Structure 1
Amino acid sequence: MSARPKFRYYTASTLDGYLADLDDSLDWLLTQPIDENGPMNYTEFIADIGAMVMGWTTYRWLLDNEVSDGKPWPYDMPCFVFTHRDVVPVAESISVVAGSPADHRDLLIAAAGDKDVWIVGGGDLAAQFAEAGMLDEIVVSFAPVTVGAGRPLFPRRFDLELIDTARNRAFVCARYAVVGPRSRISS
């Protein structure tokens, strides 16, 4: 049996564990220096991706910030937006789905082909994939900034295994294997 596809959550976070601030702003991320060819870079990551998934907030952010002023959708691979909202896709490569990740496992695996599935965000969707046993690894680039509150990186109790670390200019990058849910120890 092939190890492919892997379900991978590749993201950036503030040092205090947020993907975005309370206004869904990523200005903290976009102002940090990064080596586009450095360790754990996006170009090498995306080369192994065959399909992507995201939640409504991430999709909306992309529409507001990347697909504005007539710019086209930035991805040519199959993209699945998990939401219960009535959403009109802005590109033929986008499918809107509802339900749990497990409901769409076969569809996502088929869409990825012999490559991996990228859980783009947000953190709650990545956690839903983990709860369904469909998250193999988390790759996070931590920025040297705090925002105090916002969208959490991963809002569930899970054990992870550190696989690799690196520094990419301002970012501390870490790759983790998802071990499983963390049980509560009663006292």
Structure 2
Amino acid sequence: MPKVIFYTATTLNGFLADDHDSLDWLFAAPGGEGGDDDFQRFLAGIGVLVQGSTTYQWVLAHEDLIDHPEKWPAFYGARPTYVFTTRDLPGVEGADVRFVQGSVTDAWPAIRDAAGDLDVWVVGGGDLAGQFADAGLLDEIRVSIAPATLTSGKPLLPRVLGADMLELTAVNKAGAFAELTYTVKHA
């Protein structure tokens, strides 16, 4: 069974994005553009990506993927990407984007089957990762803490997950970032 991993970056004070859903704060940090060897090793173990509609729309706009679909493989490769949404969104030409509505529990069998022997990456946002946690499907949280703060924005994980549910399994320094890895314990 694949692991479900929420792998993301956050500000020092726990925000994924600013009030306008922008990640500009992340790309301003040294090393914030990603793509290092550790990330490439992580990505090699991923069979499916899952993201919310706000994350998907930000990536579309930020990378101009509708006009430049050839950029998609640089981010996600040929992996299926499930986008949870309640509205109609454009696809990316040549990309395997699958729009789903409803609960993560209802979508899980298709996501699990598409992942095969590889893991599932919850790209964002925090509420979607929280839905996986609520359903007992979230196995790991990997968070890179950036050298930046915001006064407000989208929270890292808008759920209560106490110390009884999280076990710290790794701490790494990646340039200006601190990366923490937690295993999520299930009841």
**Retained in 1: the 8 A contact 2:130–2:159?**
yes
- Does structure 1 residue 64 correspond to structure 2 residue 61? yes
Partner AA of 1:5 in structure 2: P
Q: 1:137 aligns with which of 137, 140, 147?
A: 140
In 1, Cα distance between equivalents of 2:50 and 2:144: 19
Matched, 1:156 2:138: no
Q: Could you tell me which residue of structure 2 aligns to residue 185 of structure 1? A: none
3-state SS in 2 of match to 1:117: strand
CA distance in 2, matches of 1:167, 1:14: 15
Q: Contact (CA 8 Å) 1:158, 1:179: kept in 2 or not?
A: no
Q: Return the alpha-carbon distance in structure 2 between the equivalents of residues 147 and 20 of structure 1.
A: 9
Counterpart secondary structure, 1:125: helix
Match of 1:176 in 2: 182
Partner AA of 1:175 in structure 2: T
**Count of matched residue pairs:** 176
Preserved CA contact (<8 Å) 2:5 2:138:
yes
Q: C-alpha displacement at 1:71, in angstroms?
A: 4.0
Structure 2, gaps ≥5 residues long:
none
Residue 123 of structure 1 aligns with which residue? 126
- CA distance in 2: counterparts of 1:25 and 1:103, whole angstroms: 29
Choose between structure 1 and 2: higher helix proportion: 2
Quote the RMSD (CA, aligned, Å). Answer: 1.7
Task: Verify the 8 A CA contact 2:69 2:92 in the aligned structure 1.
Answer: no
Name the CA distance, whole Å, in 2 between partners of 1:87 and 1:60. 8
CA distance in 1, matches of 2:186, 2:91: 33
TM normalised by structure 1 equals 0.88
Amino acid in structure 2 at the alignment position of 1:62: V
Determine the C-alpha separation between the residues in 2 that align with 1:25 and 1:88: 20
Alpha-carbon offset, residue 87 of structure 1? 2.1
Alpha-carbon offset, residue 68 of structure 1: 5.5
Q: Give identity over the alignment, percent.
A: 48
Which segments of structure 1 move beyond 6 Å, counting only runs of 4 or more?
none
Q: Structure 1 CA distance, aligned partners of 2:8 and 2:59?
A: 14
Shift of 1:98: 0.5
Distance 1:166 1:26 in 2: 22
1:79: how far off?
0.6
Cα distance in 1, alignment partners of residues 185 and 151 from structure 2: 28
Residue 45, structure 1, aligned to residue 39, structure 2: no
Deviation at 1:69, TM superposition (A): 4.5
- 2: CA distance, partners of 1:18 / 1:51: 24
CA distance in 1, matches of 2:69, 2:85: 23
Q: Secondary structure of 1:102's match?
A: helix
Check whether the contact 2:66–2:92 (CA below 8 A) recurs between aligned residues: no
